[in-house]
Chains A and B, each alone.
Chain A
Amino acid sequence: MKRLTRMQIPYRVWMFLFIVIPTLILFVLALTNMNLYQIGAFDLTLDHFAIFSKNEIGIAFWNSFFYSSITTLICFLIGYPVAYYLSTLPNKTRKILVSLMIVPLWSNMLLRIVAWEKVFTADSYFTDLTGISLNLIGTQTAVVIGLVAMYLPFMIFPIFSVLEKMDRSLHEASKDLGATDFQTFVRVTFPLSSSGVISGVIMTMLPAMTSFVLPARLGLGTISLIGNVIESKFMKEVLGSSGMSINEGAVLSLFIMVLSVAAFMMITRVDKEGETLI
C-alpha cells in the first residue's frame, strides 16, 4: 500500500501544476481586478461578469449553440447508422474500418482544418485535381461541414461501443416475440443504445461549441463562436493592448468549464462504468 501511495506522487504533482493552479488562476482573474503582468495588490470584484450583457457575447453564445446543435444533429444522423453498420460487421472488417476512422484523429487538428480550408478555396489543388470548384470558404456551410468532419468520430465511437456490446440474443428474443426488424430497432436496440447516444451528443456538442480555430479559418473570421471571443480576449492581453480583457476571458472560460463539468456528470450518470467514453 505504501509503495502505491508513493507512486501517486508524480501524478499528484502533475495534477497540481497543470490543473489545480491554472484553475485557481482562472478564478482569481475572473473574480478580481488583478492585472496578470503587474501582480500585486488586487481587489475582489464582480465587474467582469458585466461582459454577459454585451451584444457580441450574446451573439457568440447563440452562434456556439446554433453551430454545435446543427453539427451534433448531423453527426447523429450520419453517425448512428454508421455505428450500427459497424456493429453488424464481422470482427476483422470491423477492426479495419474502425482503425481507418481512428488513424486520422492522430493527425494534427490544425492540419486537418487547413486541409479543409484548401478544399473550400475557389482555386486550390483540389480544384486542379478534380475540376470541381468549391467556393465555400467563409460560409456557414463550410463551418458546418468542417465541424461535422472534425467531430463525427466522437459521435460514432460511443454509440458503436454500446451497440457492439449489445447481446445479440436480445434482438432474437424481440423477433421471437413477434417484432419485425424495425419494431425491434425502435423498442429494443435504440432504447438500449441511448447511453451511447447521450455520450456521443455531449462529446460532439461540447468541443464543437468551444472550437475556435475551425470557425476562424473556415469562416474567415466572419463567424464568431464563444471560443473565438475567449481567444481574442486572451490574445489582446498577450499582445498588450487593452486593460481588463483577460479577466473577462477568464469569466467566459469558467462559464464553459461549469458547462463541461455538468455535461460530464450527466455522462457518468447514464453510463456508470464509463464504457462509452474514449
Chain B
Amino acid sequence: MSKKLIELNDISKSFGDLLVLDHFNLYINENEFVTLLGPSGCGKTTLLRLIGGFESPDEGSIIFDGNIINDLEPHERMINTCFQKYALFPHLNVFDNIAFGLKIKKLPKDEIVSRVTQTLKLVKLEGFEERSVSTLSGGQQQRVAIARAIVNRPKVLLLDEPLGALDLKLRQEMQYELKEMQRQLGITFIYVTHDQEEALTMSDTIVIMNEGKILQIGKPEDIYNEPGNQFVANFIGESNILDGIMKEDFLVEINGKPFQCVDQGFSANEQVEVVIRPEDFEFCDPDATHLVGVVDSLLFKGVHYEINVIVEGREYTIHTTKYRAIGDTVGLSVEPQNIHIMRKSKS
C-alpha cells in the first residue's frame, strides 16, 4: 500500500539512568495519521523529539524518505512541529509568526503573503493577521501554531498533545478539524496524546506505548475491540477483565459457567483473560442467563447510565441506556462476538 516515510530501527534512548526508549521499532507511512498513545512517561514525547531532531538516539537509526537523519539539525529536516504549549513568538503578530519559516527560507514577499493568507483561511483565522498573539484565546493560539507549521508544507507534522490545554467542547471541534486538515493537505501527522478518546477519533493507526515499548499497533477499531493485553484493554476505554478457562474452541468458562465465544486456537483448559466492554452487556430475564446479580450503584452519565452489578461477589461495570434501581436483581447477557479472549499476560 502506501510508501514508508519514516522508519525507526532499533532506537534506544536514555536520560541518565532512565531508559526511555528500549530498542524501539516503528515505521510510518505517507499520508498516515498516526497517534502515539500512552500514559505520561511512556516515552511518546521523546519519540516525537527524536523525529523532530531535538534529541538524538543513543542507538539505532531514524530513516526519513530513505535517508538516515540521525544527526540532522531540526532546521534541516522536512518536518515541522506543533508544540505542546504552542511556543508562539510573543514579539511577533499572527502574520509574522506564521510567516517566520517562509521568511527564513527567503521566499519572495508576495508568495509569503499569499501562502500565509491561504493558511489562515484553512485554520479559519482570516482577518487575524495584525493581532498580537497574546490577545488570542487558547483555541486561536492553537490554530496559529498549526498554521505556522503547515505553511511550510512539511512532509510530516508532529503534534505534541496540542489539544491538552483546551476545554472539552473546543477539543472535540479541533479533533474534527485536524482530521479534516490532514485529509486535505495529505501530510503525515504524528500525534502524541494520553487521551484515548482523541486517539480513537482521529487516527488511522494507533501505537500504544508503555515504558518505552510498543504494546500494540493497529487501527482504532481493532485496538478497541481486540486489545492485545490487559494494559491495552484498561488503557483504551473501560473494561471488565475476568479470569476464564478456555474449554475448547469457541467455548470459554467464566465463574464456572460456559459462554459461547468466537475465539479459537487456545489449548484445552488454558487459563485466559476475558475482556467484556461495559456497553456490550444487555439486561435480560434472570432465568435465561448464567449472570445474575444485584445492582450496587448507579451513575447518570448523560448518554448512558453507569451501573455496577455484583455477580457472585465480583463487580461488573455496565453502560446502558436502561434504568435499573439500586437493589434490583438483574440478568446480564453478552453476545458471543463481544466476548474477547486474551492470553494471560506474562509478568
Contacts and interface: CB of A to CB of B under 8 A. Distances in A.
Contacts of A192: 89-91
Which DSSP category, helix, strand, loop or mixed, fits chain B's interface?
loop
Interface stretch (B74-82, B196-204, B296-304): B74-82
A153 to B, nearest CB: 26
A260 to B, nearest CB: 28
Most chain A C-beta atoms within 10 Å of own C-beta, residue among B74, B81, B91, B148: B74
Interface stretch (B63-71, B97-105, B122-130, B230-238): B97-105
Contacts of A173: 81, 83, 87-89, 148
Given A172-B52, A175-B75, A179-B104, 18 more contacts: A167-B87, A172-B81, A172-B87, A173-B81, A173-B88, A173-B89, A174-B89, A175-B53, A176-B53, A176-B74, A176-B80, A177-B104, A178-B75, A178-B104, A179-B75, A180-B75, A183-B104, A192-B90
B54 interface: yes
Contacts of B54: 172
B101 A178 contact: yes
B308 interface: no
A180 to B, nearest CB: 6
B222 interface: no
B247 interface: no
A169 B87 contact: yes
A177 B80 contact: yes
14 contacts: A167-B85, A172-B83, A173-B83, A173-B89, A173-B148, A175-B75, A176-B53, A176-B79, A177-B152, A178-B75, A180-B73, A180-B75, A188-B89, A192-B89
Nearest to A166: B90
A170 interface: yes
Which DSSP category, helix, strand, loop or mixed, fits chain A's interface?
helix
Interface of B: 52-54, 73-75, 79-81, 83-85, 87-91, 100-101, 104-105, 148-149, 152
A243 interface: no
Contact of B152 (A178, A187, A188): A178
Interface residues of A, number: 17
A188 B52 CA distance: 19
Contacts of B87: 167, 169-170, 172-173
Most chain B C-beta atoms within 10 Å of own C-beta, residue among A167, A176, A179, A192: A176
A179 B148 CA distance: 13
Interface of A: 167, 169-170, 172-180, 183, 187-188, 191-192
A92 to B, nearest CB: 15
Contacts of A167: 85, 87
Contacts of A191: 91
B100 A175 contact: no
Given A169-B85, A172-B74, A172-B83, A178 B91 contact: no
B104 A176 contact: no
Nearest to A175: B74
5 nearest A-B pairs in the assembled complex, by CB-CB distance: A177-B101, A169-B87, A173-B87, A175-B74, A178-B104
A176 B89 CA distance: 13
Contacts of A183: 104
A273 to B, nearest CB: 14
Nearest to B52: A176
Contacts of A175: 53, 73-75
Contacts of B80: 176-177
Contacts of A178: 75, 101, 104-105, 152
B148 A177 contact: yes
Contacts of A174: 89, 100
B46 to A, nearest CB: 14
A177 to B, nearest CB: 4
Most chain B C-beta atoms within 10 Å of own C-beta, residue among A173, A177, A183, A192: A177
Contacts of B74: 172, 175-176
Nearest to B91: A191
Contacts of A180: 73, 75
A169 B158 CA distance: 14
Nearest to B101: A177
Contacts of A179: 75, 100, 104
Nearest to B99: A177
